[in-house]
Amino acid sequence: MNKNAKIYTKTGDSGETSLLCGTRTTKNHLRIEAYGTIDELNSYIGLIRSYKIKKHDFDVLLNIQHRLFEAGSLLACEKKTFLNKLTKIKETDILLLEKEMDMINTTLPALHSFILPGGNKIVSHCHIARCICRRAERVICAIPHLNEPDKIILKYLNRLSDYLFVLSRKITNDNNIIEITWKAKK
């Protein structure tokens, strides 16, 4: 970025903005909502990284933030010719999340009930990030005519929300916090 460039452009003052490929649209367009939700998720994951967590978890979350930035770029474009120039989410990115979850799950007690979100601030932030991730999935599903990069983003987000849940359990376990399970009202 040019250090002399102004951050404000004034082009959005009337409720419109541009997609990455140049198309002007309203700020409530589903693609804007989708990449805005991805940005919110990315910011929340940055918040989780700001806490004292294990280096490996920090590094995995940093990797996820880079992938989410790429996902946001892909969602900000609907023109196929422009999409070809952007970095894509890959199956290997999804496999990394699966590998992490499999590794973490070997250290956790078996899950026999739903868990109530909470326990400490980091765990709570993991659950909020998981909820934002699920919202991003819902918004992307509402976009008509999904392209291939959009579809793999959906798959990545589906796995990421699972990872954030498993990470919340790991942090709970790492800090010797008791998980509170949901109990149906009798």
Residue-level pLDDT at 141? 92
- Is pLDDT of 26 > 70? no
Number of domains in the chain: 1
Residue-level pLDDT at 18? 57
Q: What b/e string do you get for 16-35 counting C-beta neighbours within 10 Å, with b at 16 or more?
A: ebebbeeeeeeeebebbbbb
- Is pLDDT of 169 > 80? yes
Contact 75, 41 (CB under 8 A): no
- Is pLDDT of 59 > 60? yes
Residue-level pLDDT at 100? 97
CA-based nearest residue to 123, from 184, 61, 59, 166: 166
The count of other CB atoms within 10 Å of the CB of residue 151 is 12
d(CA 145, CA 13): 29
CATH number at residue 87: 1.20.1200.10
What residues pair up with 25 in beta bridges, in sequence order?
17
In a domain, 153, yes or no: yes
In a domain, 122, yes or no: yes
In a domain, 181, yes or no: no
d(CA 74, CA 87): 8
Please indicate whether residue 91 or residue 30 has the higher confidence score (pLDDT).
Answer: 91
In a domain, 46, yes or no: yes
- Is pLDDT of 12 > 90? no
pLDDT digits (tens, 9 = 90+) for 110-159: 888 888 888 899 999 999 999 999 999 999 999 888 778 788 999 999 99
In a domain, 124, yes or no: yes
Mean pLDDT computed over every residue of the chain: 86
In a domain, 12, yes or no: no
Sign of torsion over alpha carbons 130, 135, 141, 146: negative
d(CA 36, CA 27): 10
In a domain, 3, yes or no: no
Structure tokens belonging to residue 20:
């990455």
In a domain, 9, yes or no: no
Band the pLDDT of 23: cuts 50, 70, 90: low
Please indicate whether residue 6 or residue 155 has the higher confidence score (pLDDT).
Answer: 155
- Contacts of 88-92 with CB under 8 Å at 24 or more apart are 88/149, 88/152, 89/149, 89/152, 89/153, 89/156, 90/152, 91/152
Q: How far is CA 182 from CA 89, 116, 121, in A?
A: 35, 6, 19
Band the pLDDT of 174: cuts 50, 70, 90: very high
Residue 92 lies in domain: 18-106+115-174
